[in-house]
Amino acid sequence: MKTNANAETFELGVCYYPEHWPEQLWADDFRRMVETGFTIVRMAEFAWSIFEPQEGVFQFGLFDRAIDLAHSYGLKVILGTPTATPPAWLTERYPEVLNVTYDGVTLQHGSRRHYNYSSPKYRELCARITTQLAQHYNTHPGVAGWQIDNELNCEINVFYSESDHQAFREWVQAKYETLERLNDAWGTVFWNQTYTSWSQVFLTRPTPSPMQPNPHQALDEKRFISDNAISFARIQADILRKVAPSQWVTTNGLFGHLDSHELNDELLDFFSYDSYPQFSTISDDSNEVNPLRDRSWSLSLSVVRSISPNFCIMEQQSGPGGWVNRMDMPSPKPGQMRLWTYQSIAHGADKLLYFRWRTATMGNEIYWHGINDYHNQPNRRVKEAAQVGRELAEAGKHIVGTRNEAKIALLRDYDNEWDGEYDVWYGPFMWQSNKEWFKALQKRHISNDLIYLRSKTTLEDLTPYEVLIYPHPAIMSDATAALLDQYVQQGGTLIFGCRTGYKDTRGQCYMRPFPGAAKDLCGITVEEFTLVKGTRPATSIQWGNDPEALTGADAFNDILHVEEDSVEIMGTYASDYYAGKPAVTRNKRGTGEVWYYGAVFNEQAALKIVDSLNLASPVADWLELPGEVELQIRKSETASYVFLLNYSEEPVTIRLKAQKRDLLTGRTVSGSFTLEGFGVLVLY
């Protein structure tokens, strides 16, 4: 049985490290947290040496005092299992627990996440510390729940220790049973890679042309890493369920090579995410047209929502961020931290904790600022958090448990994400197309979900959506194509981009005309294709008969050939030797339709399709919004809350044809209304 993330109350809180501060500060800290409107704190996720200073010697004094004190102030506590930071005594005595890089370098004590998931010794020691903690705190009235480890697969998401090679060998053996099947799946006849004994099978290893291992093996390696991370977390989840059954279990994440949907379904009560919207600012790609900047974090939050419709933000950015030598993020401007808080809530957060209460005075994160500065004097970030605290004290009761609604979804899947990480002939396209579609939908205020297609996905999961956009699923099984066909036949609209359907689940190419498994769906074949780069100049697509209606045909061009009478040509290439050939097609099928767009999407092309399909904002009849504002709707059976978030620091005008109230302030909003810079409204 899954516990709802929210239960009845919205929780606002903060991450706190009692072990970083003199004990005489704790009471004042907890008192001020309550004053700020906080109800929950997370502790202990890096404190293994404090609980177990020597192997097998356990002590709980420091955290007993901290938890008791927090509880005496009415705060609930989330306890992290401390397995992301093995103690020095542990790695000294059992060096086999350490992670090893692809090049064979052992990662040593001195930072964090330097362990591997496969070492039987590490699994045993993690099980023991988790059992000790669960036994000690399972009946503590102040402990609400547990966070397993911290950010599985963050910092590093590949593992090449001896135990990992061994575990991988067992994993492939269980998957393929015979070497013949393994050889077949990995296509080892190519370049004489054929295995004649299981002992010859390893995770990918350095090869003469650097980092060029067998691509099918590389795909299986990522599937293994994901399964292995889940099996590592499962040990702790099982212990916590058994020993502390009345406390909930979560973990914070969303990192590479990990099927977070499976992790959540198998082990967690709800998923947690750490939201640092400034990452999108420091990684700003200056070539990008109309970047969404901190608003692009909403796309990540849509992914989180697909894992767990109501979730916890375990760490919400609350100041400038940065490590000593990298990740230097500007300070959020006045109002921006509050905006980010509501960005998370608008997407489904029912618990939210700021990272962190006070900036650390030592270690790698002396520049990763908390809401309090080192000096601990009043500052504007604490005031801003307190404003949020006051607002949510009332508004949180209404928001909690409501769920987002959308009629359009972007589709992704892990196989293509992982295979595409290695395969540059389509992998990078997915990220561009996701971003460009998201921009187009955001600018038109059309809320979208993001769905991961999984082996468990059923037609019922897809039918709530009028439109599904699946940009470049190179890997597509016939079973997936059949499921998508059912969706289309019953009236759905499905949109593909270039490089669709030509690989099987092993990552091998079908001996069929492209788009392979999706050919019947699309009613076209790909006559020819080319990358658009180097000496191949960019071309464009002409939509309909208007020679002015051109959009760029980015990165890759599939030159299409119509196979079925049901296909209509929506756009043609405008130049090069394939000028006039179909670039965009629409196939009427059953009561639905399938679009094939022969290139990588850009915002303009996505908007052309949005217009052709007459897609509009769900609130278009009563609300007019400028492009700077994000719209998200959270609903219950009886209520609907319309979140409006202004990402610009300048005021913007919104126009309402109906009279509404703002849940955060209680004021009435109607007619022409000025929403302040970084302003937020929750209308109902």
Could you tell me how many residues of this chain bind ligand GAL (CB under 6 A)?
Answer: 8
User: Which one of the listed residues 52, 151, 384, 391 is annotated catalytic?
Assistant: 151
Nearest approach in angstroms of CB 355 to ligand GAL is 6
The letter for the amino acid at 325 is: N
Nearer to ligand GAL, 115 or 186 (CB): 115
- The SS3 of residue 23 is helix
- The SS3 of residue 385 is helix
Task: Identify the residue among 29, 259, 274, 554 touching ligand GAL (CB under 6 A).
Answer: 274
Nearer to ligand GAL, 364 or 612 (CB): 364
Task: Identify the residue among 83, 85, 91, 150 touching ligand GAL (CB under 6 A).
Answer: 150
Q: Which residues pair with 408 in a beta bridge?
A: 448, 467
Nearest approach in angstroms of CB 327 to ligand GAL is 7
User: Which one of the listed residues 96, 315, 384, 593 is annotated catalytic?
Assistant: 315
Distance set, CA 664 to CA 11, 313, 342, 641, 648 (Å): 16, 20, 11, 11, 20
Cβ atoms 359, 379 nearer than 8 A: no
Nearest approach in angstroms of CB 81 to ligand GAL is 13
Q: By CB under 6 A, which span of 132-140, 149-157, 190-198, 562-570 interacts with ligand GAL? A: 149-157
Nearest approach in angstroms of CB 45 to ligand GAL is 7
Q: Find the binding residues for ligand GAL in span 349-388 (CB under 6 A).
A: 355, 365, 368
Closest CA to 217 of 232, 200, 234: 200
Task: Give the residue at shortest CB distance from ligand GAL.
Answer: 368
Q: Is 610 in the site for ligand GAL (CB under 6 A)?
A: no
Nearest approach in angstroms of CB 154 to ligand GAL is 6
Q: Would you list the DSSP string of 104-158?
A: SPBPPSSSS--B-S--HHHHHHHHHHHHHHHHHHTT-TTEEEEE-SSSTTSS---
**φ and ψ at 480, to 5 degrees?**
-65, -45
Residue 315 annotated among the catalytic residues of the structure: yes
What is the CB neighbour count within 10 angstroms for residue 388?
25
Nearer to ligand GAL, 336 or 604 (CB): 336
Residue 124 neighbours by CB under 8 Å, 6+ apart: none
**φ and ψ at 162, to 5 degrees?**
-50, -45
Nearer to ligand GAL, 33 or 154 (CB): 154
Q: By CB under 6 A, which span of 22-30, 66-74, 148-156, 421-429 interacts with ligand GAL? A: 148-156
Nearer to ligand GAL, 79 or 625 (CB): 79
Each residue 92-121 as x (binds ligand GAL by CB under 6 A) or -, in order, gives: ------------------------------
Q: By CB under 6 A, which span of 31-39, 47-55, 147-155, 662-670 interacts with ligand GAL? A: 147-155
User: Cα–Cα distance between 189 and 214 in angstroms, integer?
Assistant: 11
Q: Rounded to 10 degrees, what is the CA torsion of 191, 196, 199, 205?
A: 0
Nearer to ligand GAL, 150 or 433 (CB): 150
User: Cα–Cα distance between 148 and 236 in angstroms, integer?
Assistant: 7
Nearest approach in angstroms of CB 369 to ligand GAL is 10
User: Cα–Cα distance between 82 and 50 in angstroms, integer?
Assistant: 10
Nearest approach in angstroms of CB 332 to ligand GAL is 14
Q: Is 73 in the site for ligand GAL (CB under 6 A)?
A: no
Alpha helices of 499-580 — where are they, by DSSP H?
Answer: 519-522
Task: Identify the residue among 11, 149, 151, 554 touching ligand GAL (CB under 6 A).
Answer: 151
Nearer to ligand GAL, 224 or 368 (CB): 368
Task: Identify the residue among 315, 391, 417, 603 touching ligand GAL (CB under 6 A).
Answer: 315
Residue 564 neighbours by CB under 8 Å, 6+ apart: 523, 524, 587
Q: By CB under 6 A, which span of 36-44, 150-158, 231-239, 422-430 interacts with ligand GAL? A: 150-158
Nearer to ligand GAL, 220 or 315 (CB): 315
Residue 568 annotated among the catalytic residues of the structure: no
Nearest approach in angstroms of CB 381 to ligand GAL is 15
Nearest approach in angstroms of CB 322 to ligand GAL is 8
Angle at which helices 215-243 and 414-422 cross, to 10°: 130
Q: Is 154 in the site for ligand GAL (CB under 6 A)?
A: yes
Instruction: Give the dihedral sign, CA 501/502/507/511.
Output: positive
Nearer to ligand GAL, 354 or 641 (CB): 354
User: Cα–Cα distance between 361 and 364 in angstroms, integer?
Assistant: 9
User: Cα–Cα distance between 498 and 567 in angstroms, integer?
Assistant: 17
Q: Rounded to 10 degrees, what is the CA torsion of 152, 154, 160, 162?
A: -40
Nearest approach in angstroms of CB 502 to ligand GAL is 37
What is the CB neighbour count within 10 angstroms for residue 103?
10
Q: Which two tokens stand for residue 16?
A: 């706190």
Provide the CB-side half-sphere exposure for 239 (13 A, CA): 24
Q: Find the binding residues for ligand GAL in span 316-355 (CB under 6 A).
A: 355
Query: E strands along 453-536, which residues?
Result: 467-470, 493-496, 524-531
DSSP designation for 81: P
Nearer to ligand GAL, 253 or 516 (CB): 253
Catalytic residues: 151, 315
Binding site for ligand GAL (CB under 6 A): 150-151, 154, 274, 315, 355, 365, 368
